Amino acid sequence: MPRRALISTLSVLVFLGAWEIAPRLHLIDMAYTSQPSRVLAASLEAVRNAGFLHDLSVSFSEFAVGFALAVAMGVPLGLLLGVFPVMRYLADPVVMAIYSTPYLALLPILVVWLGIGMPSKMAAVFVGGVVPIVVNTMAGVRQVERCWVLAAQSFGGGKRDVLVKVILPASLPGVMIGTRLGLSRAVLGMVVAEMYVSQAGIGSEIMRYGSAFRIDYLLFYVLVISGFGFAATRSLRVLEQRLWTADK
Amino acid sequence: MKALWLGLLSFATILTLWEAAARLGVMNPFFTSQPSAIAATLGEEARSGELPRNITVSLGEFAAGYGAAVFIGIFLGVLAGRFRTFEYALDPFLWFLYSAPLVALFPIFIIWFGLGARPVIAIAFLLSVTPIAANTLSGIKGINPALVRAAKSFGAGESDLLWKVILPASVPMVIAGLRLGIGRALTGVVVGELFGATAGLGFSIAYYGGLLKTTNMLASLAVIAVLGVVCTQGLSAVEARLDSWRTGPGL
């Protein structure tokens, strides 16, 4: 494990070093890339600004509501579709059609339907998050080893036992993969919806600094979102670990 | 066959309900449009040459970005799956790219590549290369070590291992990555066009969105959905062929 951390840190440091030094040596034009030191300076400046916390809380509430809805609806739906073949046949083409359609293309329509306020962002988060959760939960159910189902049945397990005690725990990896994938799409949905049209939030700051070509500020807000996504993914992994150990 | 009929049935049901709701005044067609109007608009746009032109632009960008991502993503994933040091060095970047809202970097791409198709291709590539690389990597790491040991003890070399054990055993994960990549590459193309382009399906959605023409928006969206489904289903056919040795569960 220390070796892993060492190599990972080293490779990031090399990247940052090259990025800092290359503009100084005039190998690349700084207007195009900015510099780590400048991004750092911009970050300190932006964090001290009072509007920062407001943007953060707006974005977070949009995300939390949309993603909670996505999990609450996606997991049960995925289990249902995974277990019952007829329902899967009915829903699969529709689900795949939605999955294959870039959900961000819905933004203009969501805005027409829900307005430019927070509901259209929540809807973008929900639409982004729910589909991978459904699809991967379904796939997780289908990847359950057949012999476990047979074993449970031959020991007298009924349909309900098989579902709750075998299929649900065994399809957990699929559920977790779906949640993780849905998470990154949901975060993207939040930011891009805010970039498309909004009055507040991290995405609106990104768009503001983007059109002013302030790469240092823009990268800071991109980093904030990345940190947000990273923290959410980490918490999911911790949860995943808990669920696994509780299983044993 | 049964799957096909049930699938068609559910599509037909949805379209019928939608049309009926719009005609009976349950939904306002100004906001939701209706299937018959969308079909008529599609025919009109096809005759005027607008639709073929948009499709060509978007598909060209998609093919360039996604094609590059497939090769580079699988290459990076296999490399990282086989060599620990490379995996550790790649890992932070992979996870950054995965969690970062890359679309937010689009203004930077415009500065780098100028307006037009190139920044769109770049964002499509960057969005789709990460799931492909990450899934290939985790597919390889998830391989039952007994398979590798068995192959080695029967004298398999590194190239035998790769082609006969490692790649076949990681097919489901790789395909899942390719499938995600398709979605993300299409997302990149459409969003890139949404924010800064002069042609393409995404551009037409934003353009008609500005005019509040929901029928035209949904027509472009339907075309994008069909393109996505065609790509994904093509991939399923490939998967069935590559992964025919695996047996599924069932209840």
Put simply, the answer to whether B96 touches A188 (Cβ < 8 Å) is no
Tell me what ipTM this predicted complex has: 0.75
Residue A125 at interface with chain B, using a CB cutoff of 8 Å: no
The answer to whether residues A22 and A49 belong to one domain is no
Same-domain check for residues A2 and A73: no
In chain A, what residues touch B191 (CB-CB under 8 Å)?
102, 104-105, 192
Model confidence pTM above 0.80: no
Number of domains chain A contains: 2
Going from the N-terminus, what domains does chain B have, and what CATH number goes with each? 52-242 (1.10.3720.10)
What's the pLDDT band for A247 if we cut at 50, 70, 90?
Answer: low
CA angle, corner A183, sides to A178 and A184, nearest 5?
110
Apex B116 CA angle, A129 and A221, nearest 5: 45
Question: Across the interface, do B209 and A8 touch by the CB < 8 Å criterion?
Answer: no
Interface test with A, best of B187, B212, B227, B236 (most A CBs within 10 A): B187
Q: Are A28 and A146 in a shared domain?
A: no
Residues A26 and A83 in one domain: no
CB pair distance less than 8 Å for A226 and B101: yes
- A90 or A248: which carries more pLDDT confidence? A90
The chain A residue lying nearest B86, using CA atoms, is: A7
CATH number for position A186: 1.10.3720.10
Which residues form the domain of A27?
A: 1-33
Indicate if A114 and A162 belong to the same structural domain.
Answer: yes
Among A93, A102, A188, the residue with its CB nearest the CB of B186 is A102
Mean of pLDDT values over B204-217: 87
Yes or no, beta carbons of B2 and A103 under 8 Å apart: no
Per-residue pLDDT, A171 = 84
Is A125 found in the same domain as A7? Answer: no
φ/ψ of residue A171, rounded to 5:
-95, 5
Both A53 and A135 in one domain: the answer is: yes
Same domain, A8 and A42: no
Same domain, A27 and A44: no
Q: Do B229 and A107 touch (CB under 8 A)?
A: no
Q: Residue B71 — φ and ψ, nearest 5°?
A: -65, -50
Same domain assignment for residues A73 and A183:
yes
Torsion angle in degrees (nearest 10) through CA of B14, B20, B23, B28:
-40
Q: Is the model's pLDDT at B57 over the cut of 90?
A: yes
Mean pLDDT of chain B: 84
pLDDT at A68: 93
| Of the candidates A146, A168, A159, A152, the residue with the CA atom closest to the CA atom of residue A76 | A168
CB contact under 8 A, A225 and B101: yes
B27 vs B74 pLDDT, higher one: B74
What is each CA distance from B105 to A12, A210, B108, in whole angstroms? 19, 8, 5
Q: What is residue A25's predicted lDDT score, i.e. its pLDDT?
A: 85
B97, pLDDT greater than 60: yes
Residues A23 and A53 in one domain: no
Residue type, B31: F
Place of tokens 């939390």: A64
Of A7-16, B1-10, B35-44, B176-185, least confident by mean pLDDT is B1-10
With an 8 Å Cβ cutoff, are B195 and A144 in contact? no
Most confident by average pLDDT, A25-29, A111-115, A122-126, A178-182: A122-126
Is residue A67 within 8 A of residue A228, CB to CB? The reply is no
Same domain, A29 and A42: no
Percent of chain B's residues with pLDDT above 70: 96
Chain A residues closer than 8 Å to B112 by CB:
32
> What gap in Å lies between CA A42 and CA A214, rounded to an integer?
10
Count CA within 13 A, CB hemisphere, residue A152.
Answer: 18
pLDDT band at B251 (very low <50, low <70, confident <90, very high): very low
The mean predicted confidence, pLDDT, of chain A is 85
